[in-house]
Amino acid sequence: MIMRALIISLLSIGTIAAPAAVSAADEPIQPIEAAKPKNENMVELGKMLFFDPRLSKSGFISCNSCHNLSMGGTDNLQTSVGHNWQQGPINSPTVLNSSMNLAQFWDGRAKNLKEQAGGPIANPGEMAFTHELAVDVLRSIPQYRARFKQLFGSDQINIDMVTDAIAAFEETLVTPDSRFDKWLKGDKQALNQTEVEGYKLFKEVGCTSCHNGAAVGGASFQKFGVHEPYKTASKAEGRFGVTGKDADRFMFKVPTLRNVELTYPYFHDGAAATLEEAVNTMGRLQLGHKFTKEENAKIVAFLKTLTGKQPQFTLPVLPPSTNETPRPKPFG
């Protein structure tokens, strides 16, 4: 009898909770859940490192320079500015919700955030440093040594610890509570009619075959240029650069559309300045569909509902260099 009562009780809970849950689960897009940091101290250290330009040769470029958390986790430039004002070869993807990507970089050459974090530090066109020199800087600063010791049990800082901490911070950079997520969770007032129609169209024409899941993308590599080739001056060839397989030519990681209103310009070459242009190009090249002006406006209206709550945090105060700290070399 007790068991039976319990089951009935559980079923009742199920019944009450069911409608919203089933409805959200039926959709190709799921709401983003707020981050639950496992280790607040690790996140804090990662935040400091993310904002510390001393991880670059120049002492001028930090992770936040190109993944600016005031601007949707991007630099809003077609391609980024690197050491010595070098022009980057590709558009900086947003760091927001990047923990949900199947791999990192447009070509997926890093399997996760930790592996990604080491890339730009040592890239001669970006931060132009070496892992060894970056670690030397951190080791010379007692407040950094103390934090690493507390977290890793050793103040013999190494690049693995550095990228662990940066990745831990980046995992917190999720953007829940967008109007679309509220709508998904049952608040039908969260979207207006145009936005709902835009979402329906987004599904009907096939955008959700690739832009799905909680991140509305990031879950697969796809060929850019299905119905017609993509015309670009960019030399990037996507997965082909990683695997060397002909079948991977122009296969790029599908970008997340979360916060897409903030992450302009669009595509791996940053060639589309506006959402309207990006939507039209995607329709034509990927779906063989020419959107009417009205359809385009509806989809753009829907896409703007994907802007979530941006990470809110106190700007970190960085510990000063010491007399032993190697000095940055911006000009030589």
Point out which residues bind a second copy (CB under 8 A): 51-54, 58-60, 65, 68-72, 75-77, 81, 84-85, 87, 261-262, 264-265, 273-274, 276, 310, 312-318, 320-321, 323, 327-328, 330-331
Q: Which is nearer to a second copy, 44 or 52 (CB)?
A: 52
- CA–CA dist 249, 139 (Å, integer): 42
Kindly state the smallest distance separating residue 99's Cβ from a second copy, in Å.
19
- CA–CA dist 332, 318 (Å, integer): 25
Residue 74 pairs in a beta bridge with: 68
Q: Which is nearer to a second copy, 35 or 318 (CB)?
A: 318
Positive or negative torsion for Cα 163, 165, 166, 169: positive
Q: Which is nearer to a second copy, 193 or 314 (CB)?
A: 314
- CA–CA dist 208, 199 (Å, integer): 10
- Could you tell me if 151 and 144 are in contact, meaning their C-beta atoms sit under 8 angstroms apart? no
Cα Rg of the chain, angstroms: 22
Closest to 178 (Cα-Cα) out of 194, 191, 196 = 191
- Amino acid type, 282: M
- CA–CA dist 154, 157 (Å, integer): 7
Kindly state the smallest distance separating residue 64's Cβ from a second copy, in Å.
9
The residue with tokens 């599908």 is 254
Q: What is the DSSP string of 84-149?
A: GGPBPSSPPPP-TTGGGSSSBSTT--BSSHHHHHHHHHH-TTTT---HHHHHHHHHT-HHHHHHHH
Kindly state the smallest distance separating residue 331's Cβ from a second copy, in Å.
5
Q: Which is nearer to a second copy, 121 or 275 (CB)?
A: 275
Kindly state the smallest distance separating residue 243's Cβ from a second copy, in Å.
31
Kindly state the smallest distance separating residue 72's Cβ from a second copy, in Å.
7
Q: Which is nearer to a second copy, 213 or 308 (CB)?
A: 308
Q: Which are the catalytic amino acids? A: 126
